[in-house]
C-alpha cells in the first residue's frame, strides 16, 4: 500500500502514481502524449490538442505549404 495516498494502486492524484503510458510524442513540444490526452494527428505526426490549436497557422505554413503574403498591386 502507498504511504502517501494509502491506496493500492495509487490514487491518480498521488505523486507516487505511475504516469499514464506514453503513446505518441508531440511534434511541437517534444513531450509525451499519454493515455487519456487529446491529440491531433496530421500526416503521421502527433500533436497535443493545445499545442496544435495554439500553432495551427504555423503548422499549416510549415507542413501544408500554406503561404502568407502581402497583397501587391497586380502587374
Regarding 51 and contact with Zn ion (CB under 5 A), the answer is yes
Which residue lies nearer to Zn ion by CB, 10 or 60?
Answer: 10
* C-alpha cell of residue 37: 490526452
Stretch that binds Zn ion, among 5-13, 36-44, 60-68 (CB under 5 A): 5-13
Residue 19 CA, chain-centre distance (Å), reads: 16
Q: Is residue 14 at the binding interface for Zn ion, with CB under 5 A as the rule? A: yes
Whether 48 and 41 have beta carbons less than 8 Å apart is answered as: no
10 is an interface residue for Zn ion by CB under 5 A:
yes
* Nearest-angstrom CA–CA distance, 60 and 70: 17
Q: Which residues bind Zn ion (CB under 5 A)?
A: 2, 4-5, 10, 14, 16, 26, 28-29, 48, 51
Amino acid at each position: 500500500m502507498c504511504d502517501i495516498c494509502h491506496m493500492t494502486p495509487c490514487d491518480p492524484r498521488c505523486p507516487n502514481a505511475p504516469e499514464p503510458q506514453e503513446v505518441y510524442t508531440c511534434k511541437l513540444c517534444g513531450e509525451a502524449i499519454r493515455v487519456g490526452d487529446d491529440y491531433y494527428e496530421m500526416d503521421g505526426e502527433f500533436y497535443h490538442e493545445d499545442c496544435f490549436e495554439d500553432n495551427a497557422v504555423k503548422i499549416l505554413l510549415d507542413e501544408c505549404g500554406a503561404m502568407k503574403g502581402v497583397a501587391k498591386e497586380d502587374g
